[in-house]
Amino acid sequence: MIKFIIKRLLALIPVIIGVTFLVYFIMSLAPGDPALLLLGEDATPEQIADLREEMGLDQPLIVQYGRYMFKLVTGDMGTSYKTKNAVAKEVFSRFPNTLILAGFSTLVSIVLALPLGVFAAVKQNSLFDTVSMVVALLGVSIPIFWFGLLLILLFALKLGWFPVSGFDGFKSLVLPGLALAFQHMAAIARTTRSSMLETIRQDYIRTVRAKGLPENKVITRHALKNALIPTITVIGLQIGGMMGGSVLTESVFAWPGIGRLMISSISGRDTPMVLGCILMFSITFSIINLIVDIVYGFVDPRIKAQYK
């Protein structure tokens, strides 16, 4: 298991190189000049040229990227073009807020989706199954930003139960958390239902029922555990999706996370800040996938034996 974890962590190196190069290349193709954006429309060509030289933007793209990677290896994520602050400082100061939002949304989606998927499978073709799957279909179909705006209109503006934006305690977390969780809850519930339907039709489940074991124990002790592998996979992907989806959610609810920071940095052509935000997303997503693979081993001993 230790060797497996080390190999997966070492695999982060080419991921980081590939992600940073793609982002650096795409940002270089974006319209606009960072030096002009910083100095304003009234700046002279000489001032723009001097600032470009100071920022290193007059160098070839591969040279700029090489200098960035050299600093990154030493732990320096660069300096923001816009704020002149260290990128690492701003990213790490906002990253906990994004983790809180994603963690709360994950908890809500799992707590609601697992029972919903299990009961829908057990009560297949019933009214509960139909209604729950229609709700799940709506969750998959409705865009996060639109659902977030509906929550703001109803619970913040009309009822006044929760604040509209910002992060000031648990109440501020409810609306963005629900907006982010609803779509992912639907995907987890649908996957759990499908996996449970396949599992409860297996021969060993019929054997357990024939032995007279109560239905609740058949479902919880035998069926659910074996049906969790696909669900765990989807949960891991959905957690990564929540990190990415937080970009829209944070923009709608003015949440002070790195998703909102990245959006403002893209519009300002702040390449080091964009790289810092995406780098954190990439590393977090890779670590989440590693944790999911480790959880597989605890759920299914056969998978754990493969890691050895």
Q: Which domains does the chain have, with CATH numbers?
A: 95-307 (1.10.3720.10)
pLDDT tens-digit readout, 54-97:
777 778 878 888 888 888 888 888 888 787 888 888 888 888 88
* pLDDT tops 80 at residue 31: no
Query: How far is residue 67's CA from residue 98's CA, in Å, rounded to a whole number?
Result: 29
Mean pLDDT score, 92-111: 87
Residue 12 token pair: 């982060």
User: Tokens 């960035």 belong to which residue?
Assistant: 68
**Helix boundaries (H) for the chain:** 2-10, 12-29, 34-39, 45-55, 61-73, 87-122, 127-141, 144-151, 170-199, 203-210, 215-217, 224-252, 258-267, 271-299, 301-307
This prediction has a pTM of: 0.78
